[in-house]
């Protein structure tokens, strides 16, 4: 089966636990205003699932310390048939599978794909439908929450993150609201706040894509640390209760 891939990294260290083979699928349904990887939006190069499987298996000896494969993007959920086929074979070979997703599409195929994964690296971009409407291509908040419920029900581990963008979602009240959204999901093993930065801005100019956040500044790290401390205290309070 053919899938479309923007790029891959056979020695990725930032895409989940251990050393991983990360595949950046092309295509995304959201097109967030602050996307760092707009080069993944257009259709990438075609790859055959069988050839890609054979390539990945060659790297298996390097997948130490919990390493394996990560499906990233773009949005991997836009190509479920290809990834179900690939993931099924990787699973048979005992390879750990993580998927990095914004959780904005949920149908039977996406559910099947989630169930083949050992770990989901999930985004919670906004704590309201309005946030998704304003800064992404459409409101998927309901789908994201439905997905979180599904993953919790299936007990699939989740590492969650939110990108904090100045003037958009950077107040202590925002952190309280994010926490309120996720606090009942026991399968969320980690929740990390990541800083918005402007390093991807040059890509918008190169690709001739309008940059909706033109002129925005990167996140102030001292302010982010304070928000992280607030989130940590909320998470700990929940554990002590
Ligand atoms: S979901 Fe991810 S890849 Fe897609 S536009 Fe948003 S940040 Fe970019």
**What pLDDT digit, counting tens, does each position of 40-54 carry?**
999 999 999 999 999
Measured in angstroms, how far is the CA atom of residue 77 from the centroid of ligand 1? 12
- Taking residue 10's Cβ as centre, other Cβ atoms within 10 Å add up to 14
Q: How far apart are CA 141 and CA 133, in angstroms?
A: 9
How many percent of the chain have pLDDT more than 90?
93
Measured in angstroms, how far is the CA atom of residue 42 from the centroid of ligand 1? 12
Tell me, using a 6 A CB cutoff, whether residue 30 lines ligand 1: yes
Q: Is the pLDDT of residue 150 over 80?
A: yes
- Among 42, 74, 124, 200, residue to substitute to test ligand 1 (most atoms within 8 Å of Cβ): 74
Q: Is the pLDDT of residue 154 over 90?
A: yes
Do 74 and 24 meet the contact criterion of CB atoms below 8 Å apart? yes
Q: For the chain, list the domains and their CATH numbers.
A: 2-240 (3.20.20.70)
Give the chain's length.
241
Give yes or no for a cis peptide into 74 (omega within 30° of 0): yes
Q: Please, is 114 exposed, middle or buried when counting C-beta atoms within 10 Å of its C-beta (0-12, 13-18, 19+)?
A: buried
Tell me, using a 6 A CB cutoff, whether residue 37 lines ligand 1: yes
How many percent of the chain have pLDDT more than 70?
98
**What pLDDT digit, counting tens, does each position of 79-95 carry?**
999 999 999 999 999 99
């Amino acid at each position: 089966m053919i899938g479309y891939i923007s790029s891959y990294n056979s020695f990725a260290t930032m895409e989940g636990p251990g050393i991983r083979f990360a595949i950046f699928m092309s295509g995304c349904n959201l097109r967030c205003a602050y996307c760092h990887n707009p080069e993944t939006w257009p259709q990438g190069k075609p790859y055959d699932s069988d050839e890609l499987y054979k390539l990945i298996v060659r790297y298996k000896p390097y997948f130490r310390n919990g390493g394996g494969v990560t499906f990233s993007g773009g949005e991997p959920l836009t190509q479920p048939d290809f990834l179900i086929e690939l993931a099924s074979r990787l699973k048979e070979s005992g390879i750990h599978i993580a998927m990095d997703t914004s959780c904005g599409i949920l149908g039977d195929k996406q559910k099947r794909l989630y169930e083949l994964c050992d770990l989901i690296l999930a985004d919670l971009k906004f704590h309201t439908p309005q946030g998704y409407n304003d800064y992404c291509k459409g409101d998927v908040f309901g789908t994201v929450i439905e997905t979180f419920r599904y993953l919790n029900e299936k007990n699939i581990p989740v590492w969650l993150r939110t990108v904090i963008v100045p003037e958009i979602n950077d107040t202590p009240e925002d952190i309280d609201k994010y926490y309120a959204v996720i606090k009942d999901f026991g399968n969320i093993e980690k929740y990390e706040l990541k800083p918005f930065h402007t390093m991807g801005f040059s890509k918008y100019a190169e690709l001739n894509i309008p940059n909706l956040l033109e002129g925005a500044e990167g996140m102030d790290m001292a302010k982010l640390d304070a928000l992280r401390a607030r989130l940590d205290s909320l998470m700990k309070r929940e554990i002590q209760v």
